């Protein structure tokens, strides 16, 4: 709903800041500059149960963005869309927009912070991220793409909240900058600089040339795009959009929640799904379905079962090309950009409201079919045709009357193990001891 309302909201700033002739100009790549990503500003907050040195965190992140083409992440967005990077970052034009608030209390004594999502013994529904906006960004932080374009503000904002026994570290950036694997690379590089290991920071690749575009152009063997026959175009796309807008208007009160499922509950769902398949196949086969397939099936069935009338379901998955294209797998550095293409699972209303096992198996079948290197290249060729014609590099497949359910699986990013801010711990939680 917010995305629709923003179309009618005038921008307060009418003209962007003047160009600085000395700035380096970097391009924004094909999968970065889409209508969908232009409408998203990402906020991401981590809670540490220790007291961290906030200024040290800021200094190390800024230092990372001075290394080679990592500077691109410290630039400013300008129309058409491109990134302008100061030749030298200064106090007036820093690499990171940094704010810090120190609260003289324990985190559990704060009326809002004590409600931050926590692991629970049983499945639980907890407040959604919008409730904690005060910890995700400062009051005047950018909220939409225009805020970046019409102000001389860095793409990355770092907002740190310090308690007497904990620290909240929050990052904000426009989704046009990077996807979750780019975020992983940023956090890893940041951790290395913080530990004094700048020489180990991997180079940023593809800062000026789009590796996906190049890989697509160089591909020799070309397969037909399997799900292309289900691509929504013309009248079918119009019907899909109208139904999507109607769903938004009909359900104007949108609530966000965080759902926590403990490992025990996830294991039980997996057991149930595999039992469904064993019963259906008379125990003859044990088809592989992943934990992600089962969670996708569980969520899709919950949505489909809640509809007032039966409708088909299209599950849209973010499939990261970094893990699918040989040139990218063999890369000697990291890509800080968006490299996720779409994969689709098509479910009839009967399957979507049925047992977990068949839904999970359908999800697995579609993902296997669409995630080969040849099919990812076929998908990219379709997007490239749209991009070259001046259209938006976005492609949607499915039935015009389907409910669209987007999913993204961050397991491969492994963020909790990538982040290592231990060198900047000032005081360990639960003790008065300071780390040297």
Q: Note if 175 is an active site residue.
A: yes
pTM score, whole prediction:
0.91
Residues 134/41, Cβ–Cβ less than 8 Å: no
Q: Percentages helix, strand, coil for the chain, rounded to the nearest 5? A: 40, 20, 40
In the structure encoding, which two tokens stand for residue 22, read together? 């000395």
Q: Give 199's pLDDT tier (boundaries 50, 70, 90).
A: very high
Rounded to whole angstroms, the Cα distance separating 214 from 337 reads 14
Rounded to whole angstroms, the Cα distance separating 69 from 203 reads 7
Question: Per-residue pLDDT tens for 13-37?
Answer: 468 888 888 999 999 999 999 999 9
Short-list 347, 222, 341, CA closest to 297? 347
Q: Is the pLDDT of residue 365 over 70?
A: yes
Catalytic-role residue among 29, 175, 188, 317: 175
Neighbouring C-beta atoms of residue 219, cutoff 10 Å: 18
Cα angle, residue 271 at apex, residues 266 and 274 outer, rounded to 5°: 125
Same domain, yes or no: 251 and 296: yes
- What is the reported pLDDT for 375? 96
Short-list 143, 142, 141, 145, CA closest to 33? 145
- What is the reported pLDDT for 285? 67
In the structure encoding, which two tokens stand for residue 145, read together? 């793409």
Same domain, yes or no: 183 and 56: yes
CATH number at residue 221: 3.30.559
Same domain, yes or no: 258 and 182: no
State residue 12 phi and psi, 5-degree precision: -70, -35
Is residue 436 situated within a structural domain? no
Same domain, yes or no: 179 and 266: no
Q: Give 245's pLDDT tier (boundaries 50, 70, 90).
A: confident
Same domain, yes or no: 297 and 372: yes
Is residue 361 situated within a structural domain? yes
- Report the Cα 272 to chain-centroid distance in Å: 30
Same domain, yes or no: 196 and 217: no
Same domain, yes or no: 301 and 251: yes
- Report the Cα 159 to chain-centroid distance in Å: 19
Rounded to whole angstroms, the Cα distance separating 101 from 138 reads 9
Is residue 313 situated within a structural domain? yes
Residue-number span of the structural domain to which 279 is assigned = 212-413
Rounded to whole angstroms, the Cα distance separating 182 from 210 reads 14
Distances (CA, A) of 76 to 89, 154, 337, 355: 12, 5, 15, 49
Rounded to whole angstroms, the Cα distance separating 349 from 403 reads 10
What is the enclosing helix (H) or strand (E) of 181?
Answer: helix 180-194
Burial class (CB in 10 A: 0-12, 13-18, 19+), 23: middle
Question: Per-residue pLDDT tens for 106-156?
Answer: 999 999 999 999 999 999 999 999 999 999 999 999 999 999 999 999 999
Is residue 128 situated within a structural domain? yes
Same domain, yes or no: 202 and 219: no
Same domain, yes or no: 319 and 397: yes
Q: Is the pLDDT of residue 435 over 50?
A: no
Percent of the chain with pLDDT over 90: 77
Residues 302/315, Cβ–Cβ less than 8 Å: no
Q: What is the mean pLDDT of the chain?
A: 91
Mean pLDDT of all residues in 380-402: 85
Total tally of structural domains belonging to the chain = 2
SS3 348: coil
Distances (CA, A) of 374 to 213, 340, 420: 14, 15, 37
Same domain, yes or no: 170 and 229: no
The residue assigned the tokens 């938006």 is: 392
SS3 21: coil
Rounded to whole angstroms, the Cα distance separating 258 from 362 reads 26
Of residues 8 and 335, which shows the higher confidence score?
335
Paired strand residues for 100: 160
Same domain, yes or no: 192 and 230: no
SS3 204: strand
Same domain, yes or no: 173 and 283: no
Is the four-CA dihedral 82, 85, 91, 94 of positive or negative sign?
A: positive
Is residue 48 situated within a structural domain? yes
CATH number at residue 199: 3.30.559.10
Is residue 433 situated within a structural domain? no
Q: Give 253's pLDDT tier (boundaries 50, 70, 90).
A: confident
Rounded to whole angstroms, the Cα distance separating 105 from 27 reads 45
What is the enclosing helix (H) or strand (E) of 189?
Answer: helix 180-194
């Amino acid at each position: 709903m917010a995305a629709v309302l923003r179309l009618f909201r005038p921008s307060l700033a009418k003209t962007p800041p003047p160009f600085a002739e000395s700035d380096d100009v970097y391009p924004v790549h094909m999968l970065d500059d889409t209508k969908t990503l232009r409408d998203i500003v990402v906020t991401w907050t981590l809670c540490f149960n220790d007291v961290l040195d906030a200024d040290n965190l800021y200094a190390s992140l800024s230092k990372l963005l001075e290394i080679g083409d990592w500077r691109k992440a410290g630039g400013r967005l300008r129309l058409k869309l491109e990134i302008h990077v100061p030749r030298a970052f200064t106090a007036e034009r820093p690499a990171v927009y940094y704010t810090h608030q120190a609260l003289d209390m324990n985190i559990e004594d704060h009326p809002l912070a004590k409600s931050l999502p926590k692991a629970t013994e049983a499945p639980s529904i907890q407040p959604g991220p919008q409730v904690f906006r005060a910890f995700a960004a400062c009051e005047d932080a950018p909220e939409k793409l225009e805020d970046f374009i019409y102000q001389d503000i860095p793409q990355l904002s770092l907002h740190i909240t310090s308690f007497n026994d904990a620290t909240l570290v929050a990052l904000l950036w426009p989704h046009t900058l990077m996807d979750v694997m780019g975020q992983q690379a940023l956090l890893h590089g940041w951790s290395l600089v913080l530990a004094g290991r700048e020489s180990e920071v991997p180079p940023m690749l593809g800062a000026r040339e789009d590796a996906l575009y190049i890989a697509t152009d160089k591909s020799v063997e070309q397969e037909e795009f399997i799900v292309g026959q289900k691509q929504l175009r013309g009248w079918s796309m119009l019907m899909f959009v109208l139904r999507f807008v109607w769903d938004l208007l009909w359900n104007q009160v949108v609530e966000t929640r965080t759902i926590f499922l403990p490992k025990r509950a996830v294991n039980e769902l997996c057991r149930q799904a595999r039992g469904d398949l064993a019963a259906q196949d008379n125990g003859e086969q044990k088809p592989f379905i992943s934990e992600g397939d089962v969670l996708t099936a569980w969520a899709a069935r919950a949505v489909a079962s809640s509809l007032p009338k039966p409708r088909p379901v299209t599950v849209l998955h973010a499939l990261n090309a970094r893990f699918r294209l040989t040139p990218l797998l063999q890369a000697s550095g990291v890509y800080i950009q968006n490299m996720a293409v779409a994969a689709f699972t098509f479910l009839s209303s009967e399957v979507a409201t049925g047992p977990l096992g068949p839904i999970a198996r359908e999800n697995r079948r579609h993902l296997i079919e669409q995630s080969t290197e040849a099919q990812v290249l076929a998908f990219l060729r379709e997007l490239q045709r749209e991009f070259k014609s001046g259209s938006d590099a976005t492609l949607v497949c499915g039935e015009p009357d389907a409910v669209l359910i987007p999913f993204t699986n961050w397991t491969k990013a492994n963020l909790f193990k990538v982040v290592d801010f231990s060198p900047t711990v000032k005081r360990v939680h639960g003790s008065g001891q300071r780390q040297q």
